[in-house]
Chains A and B, each alone.
Chain A
Amino acid sequence: MNKDQTLKSKKTNLNSNLLGLFIFMVAVFIVMGLIKPQTYFSAANFQSMCFQFPEIGILAIGVMLPMITGGIDLSMVGISNLSAIVAALFMIHVIPEGASEGTQVVMVITAFALAIVVGIACGFFNGLIVTKFGTPPMIVTLGGQYLFMGIAIILTEGKPQLGFPEFFQELGNGTIGGAIPIPLVFFIIVAVITYYILQKTPYGLKLYLIGANQKASRYSGLKVDSLLRKTYGAAGLMSAIAGFILIARTNQANADYGTSYTLQSIMIAVLGGTNPNGGAGTVSGVVMAVLTMQFISTGINTMGLSNVNFLRQLVWGVALIAVMAINYFSAARKAKKALQST
């Protein structure tokens, strides 16, 4: 097999995985809809779904980046909360009482910028420790989760932060033209930019190379350390965006909000075809996984049983193992075929 063919077969392989994911998503959508069609297939339901998934979706896209390089980020929720707290403290203490609408907008934008700077700094810190000391990413970001959440607790003394400008709450609860939720817009922007960076820029290609074989990419002259630092920084950036939307939606900032999101976002990334050992992962896959999750959640909720939230975790766990099993067996079958054809 020559090189062109290998590349081609890799690409069709990827497309067939995405196609599988797409069929799975549509199937879940229909099955969940059949539980209670009148409630499920309504505009109001679709809108509420679009308010719910952007935060976890952005976190999942964020955690995918270090996973493509063969690392992981367990500190995303910690970064989210810390940057959200910094933005919240700024808005609460700096915006003067009765400020004009214009000042409010400027202040909220400044708070957003502040959150982003904090997020990137935290992510960069993770990357720095990983590259300077060779500490495994899992443990660096586990410690990072404690550190960042710890700083947030120290800043707030563990109290929730309230009292944002009204305009700000619109960002989390408002819609554009009465139909498109603003958080969804954030999600789409993040997804599109990440897609572009991964598929169309040299940086994206290098990221996959590092994940496929770090040693080889080092020897072939890639600046692996600097690339890794940027990647963790990017994950931090996305955490900050997710955190910002979160406080806009809930109208308060907490140091320890959403700790279960950490493992959930990793689960979504893996379901979306991200290889936890590095080298593979696509935005479209993760987006489909996020939507699938949301369909399952909403569908289960329409059942109206008590404790139904717990059932969701069960379904997700089973889905994760099922996807990994399908991947494993299809890879094994392909390897067998390849062996026979030579």
Chain B
Amino acid sequence: MEKSKWKRLTEKNEFYLFFTVVALIVIISVINPAFATVSSVIDILRAGIELAIFAIGMFMIIVLGGIDVSCASIGMFAMFTTTKIFYEAGYTGPLFPFYLVAALFGLMWGLANGVIITSLKIPPMIATLATNGIMTGLLLFFIGSREISDVPHAIRVENKNFLLTVTNEYGISSSLPATFLVLVGIVVVVYLLMRFTMLGRNIYAVGGDETSAARAGINVKFTKIFTYAFAGIIFGIGGMVHTIMMANSNPVDLTGNEMITIAAVVIGGARLTGGHGSIFGTLLGVFLVTIINNSLILIGIPSFWQRFVTGLVIVVGASISAYQALRTQKQMNIEIAG
């Protein structure tokens, strides 16, 4: 049976998500015209940078069929340790080494996660729960628990480095920070990796059905370790971006962010069972979460409703896609039986 392009499109979660986001934007703009301005778009983009970076790393892991509840801790460990090293050394040079060292710390923890999960056959959630404890313990007890607000020069400079600044009629200016380019870079690299390389397709294959993937000759163990390690690098960079945007390195700043990261990816249509998901969907999921957290207040919904609405979006969004999968499976069973 040949499916029309339209039908295939309407089966995708991203399709519905896209219209949900558009509808939400339209509704908010109608109620409060102040929302439909360039400056508020910039504000949302700015607010979403960090979550988007973490979500893309998590997206790769979820497509693999895994999960990483240590992502925020990897980010915190990388950013704080890096800042501390350069701070104590009295470093005054350019910014790039910060990213490099943070990425290396991320790589280290990502590799640890991957190796523990594959060699001891521990469920990813439990393994990363354990490494999460180890990381925060090491970080806060041995490396330091007091924030560094006197950050090195390069970070302070980058904090004030804007791609563009728009001032609205009330004289409040919104700026898009240069860290946005880091996000763009990560999006492009991960898109190319997942879409056009053998490795990326292997990640989808392992997430779809591990046994089949192994029988098809895919090195499952390597694919898994690679994904956790690569995501670790992204988390490390994400942590550094946080420090740059805050011009401050606080080793407990990102605590609890792992849950909202997982939520954004799932809202974006990736299935926790693995094998499904797209970068576009993930970014839409991040966009939706960011709008809920930043813009509900514009249409008169008090800020203490944020958490409830986020929860509603998670449950409804995930249930729609799960229910679709359930129905498709039932239909397939009927087709096979018939």
Do A and B make up one complex? yes
* Contact present for A276 and B137 (CB under 8 Å): no
Provide the bound-state CA to CA distance between A147 and B313, in Å. Answer: 9
* Contact present for A147 and B133 (CB under 8 Å): no
B32 contacts A by Cβ under 8 Å: no
The contact string, 1 if C-beta is below 8 Å from chain B, for chain A 249-289, is 00000000001000100110010000011000000000000
Provide the bound-state CA to CA distance between A315 and B141, in Å. Answer: 11
* Contact present for B308 and A147 (CB under 8 Å): yes
Instruction: Classify the interface of chain A: helix, strand, loop or mixed.
Output: helix
> Chain A contacts of B313 at CB under 8 A?
143
B36 contacts A by Cβ under 8 Å: no
Which of the candidate stretches A89-97, A134-142, A195-203, A236-244 sits at the interface with the other chain? A134-142
> Chain B contacts of A148 at CB under 8 A?
311
User: 8 Å CB contacts to A: which residues of B147-192?
Assistant: none
Give the contacting residue for A136; candidates B140, B309, B318; CB below 8 A: B318
Given contacts A133-B322, A317-B132, contact A147 B315 (CB under 8 A): yes
Instruction: Classify the interface of chain B: helix, strand, loop or mixed.
Output: helix
Which of the candidate stretches B15-23, B90-98, B102-110, B115-123 sits at the interface with the other chain? B115-123
The contact string, 1 if C-beta is below 8 Å from chain B, for chain A 315-342, is 1111011001100100000000000000
A219 contacts B by Cβ under 8 Å: no
> Chain A contacts of B137 at CB under 8 A?
310-317
* Contact present for B122 and A328 (CB under 8 Å): yes
> Chain B contacts of A316 at CB under 8 A?
130, 133, 137
* Contact present for A317 and B323 (CB under 8 Å): no
A129 contacts B by Cβ under 8 Å: yes
* Contact present for A270 and B126 (CB under 8 Å): yes
Provide the bound-state CA to CA distance between A38 and B313, in Å. Answer: 54
Q: Which of B138, B139, B272, B318 has the most CB of A within 10 A?
A: B318
* Contact present for A147 and B312 (CB under 8 Å): yes
* Minimum Cβ distance to chain A for residue B307 (Å): 4
Given contacts A154-B305, A313-B137, A314-B141, contact A136 B322 (CB under 8 A): yes
> Chain A contacts of B323 at CB under 8 A?
133-135
Provide the bound-state CA to CA distance between A157 and B306, in Å. Answer: 12
* Contact present for A134 and B262 (CB under 8 Å): no
A-B CB contact pairs (8 Å), 14 listed: A74-B259, A135-B322, A135-B323, A138-B125, A139-B318, A142-B314, A149-B311, A153-B307, A154-B304, A157-B302, A267-B129, A276-B123, A311-B141, A312-B137
Given contacts A139-B314, A143-B314, A147-B308, 19 further A-B contacts (CB under 8 A): A133-B319, A133-B320, A134-B325, A136-B272, A142-B266, A146-B310, A151-B308, A263-B69, A267-B129, A310-B136, A310-B140, A313-B134, A314-B134, A314-B137, A314-B141, A317-B129, A317-B134, A321-B122, A321-B134
